[in-house]
Amino acid sequence: MPALAGMDARLLRLLDAVLDEVHLARAAARVGLPLPAAASALERCRQLLRDPLLEDGGTQMRLTATAQALRESVRQMLAGDAQAQTASPAQQVPLQAAVAQRVRILMPDYPAQVVAHALYQELAAELPSLDLEFQTWLGDADAAARLERGQTDLVLGATRPTGQLRGREVLQERCVAVMRRDHPAAHALTLSRWLSYPHLQIACHDTLNRMIDEQVAMQGLRRRVGMVIPNFLMAPALLQGSDLIAVMPMHCVPAATAAHPVALTCLRPPLPLEAPPLRLLQHRRHAEDASVALVAQVLERIVRQRFDGR
């Protein structure tokens, strides 16, 4: 099965244990993985195989038809890996000593603020020797250039995969016009009213800013950018205390909490703006890097859990 060929030995060992035990906790103990790490690995197997693998059998879990059909193929691949390790032991790199001991990540301040803690907690349990470095986001164009030059390892943004950059969409977003709840335009945001107020521009989202400017220019109009700020975290307080209006991806609008209430209104922009999808990218040079692959897998899952459906 082609999907199995895309799995490293760690995923194959867990999958083999799950097929035997039909129980995630027992499979995790068998291969020596913490349960959160095993759950993450199983989720990756499910994505690659496009099958849940385990299903509710009433009193206990059971294997899906696809999972049952995988048994022999998985065992054959593991046997092949074992032979390869015997033949060339010097070439085998244990996961704890994987290629990267520090994985560098580039993403805007929001959603970084939301995912960083969960990402660290899960990876600290699975790979305590792995360090994470969140780098300063300066926009999609800068992120692509730094990824090409080898100055970062993973990018989460609207950057398009080109050349040696490969990636996948992790979140399809929508654009919203954001303003204070009692803003004069909050009840009827027409194009003319939108353009009559000063705009708040978040400089780090260069892709969206370019899209907005192109759409306005196509209408033969101009907008006034009353204030430019470097990041998303500055936006809520500025919008709440002024007549500024910002256009942002919905996932970049901080959710209100009891401790930090954000009295903002999110409306459909008066232009046909489609938010660029959030993509997770890495360079092809990291194709065999187990550490980068693991961080990418966990980060993607956390982003989907925290933001999908907003």
Q: Is the pLDDT of residue 98 over 60?
A: no
Q: Is the pLDDT of residue 2 over 90?
A: no
Q: Maximum distance among all alpha carbons in the chain?
A: 73
Q: Is the pLDDT of residue 7 over 90?
A: no
* CA dist., res. 188 & res. 103, Å (int): 46
Q: Show Cβ contacts of residue 90 under 8 Å, excluding neighbours closer than 6 positions.
A: none
Comparing 34-43, 70-79, 130-139, which segment has the lowest mean pLDDT?
A: 34-43
User: What pLDDT band is residue 23 in, cutting at 50, 70 and 90?
Assistant: confident
Pair (151, 282) in one structural domain: yes
Pair (81, 128) in one structural domain: no
272 in a structural domain: no
Tell me the pLDDT of the chain averaged across its residues. 83
* CA dist., res. 65 & res. 59, Å (int): 18
User: What pLDDT band is residue 306 in, cutting at 50, 70 and 90?
Assistant: confident
Output the pLDDT for position 308: 67
Kindly state the tokens that stand for 175: 């654009």
Output the pLDDT for position 257: 45
Structural domain for 24, as ranges:
2-91
* Domain termination site, one of 43, 65, 91: 91
* Domain termination site, one of 91, 126, 161: 91
Residue 103 sits in a domain whose CATH number is 3.40.190.10
Output the pLDDT for position 310: 54
Residues 8-30 have a mean pLDDT of 86
Pair (206, 237) in one structural domain: yes
- 81 within 8 A of 273, measured Cβ to Cβ: no
Pair (129, 244) in one structural domain: no
Pair (297, 152) in one structural domain: yes
Q: Is the pLDDT of residue 82 over 80?
A: no
pTM for this structure?
0.63
* Domain termination site, one of 32, 66, 91: 91
Task: Burial-class residue 25 by CB neighbours within 10 Å (0-12, 13-18, 19+).
Answer: exposed
pLDDT digits (tens, 9 = 90+) for 208-254: 899 999 999 999 999 999 999 998 889 999 999 999 999 998 888 87
CA dist list (Å): 48 to 6, 154, 308: 8, 20, 20
Output the pLDDT for position 80: 67
Residues 274-285 have a mean pLDDT of 86
In this prediction, what percent of the chain has a pLDDT beyond 90?
Answer: 32
Pair (125, 110) in one structural domain: yes
pLDDT digits (tens, 9 = 90+) for 167-195: 888 888 788 999 999 999 998 899 999 99
Output the pLDDT for position 122: 87
Bridge partners of residue 168, in order along the sequence: 280
Q: Is the pLDDT of residue 86 over 50?
A: no
Q: Indicate the number of domains in the chain.
A: 3
212 in a structural domain: yes
Q: Show Cβ contacts of residue 231 under 8 Å, excluding neighbours closer than 6 positions.
A: 108, 109, 110, 137, 202, 204
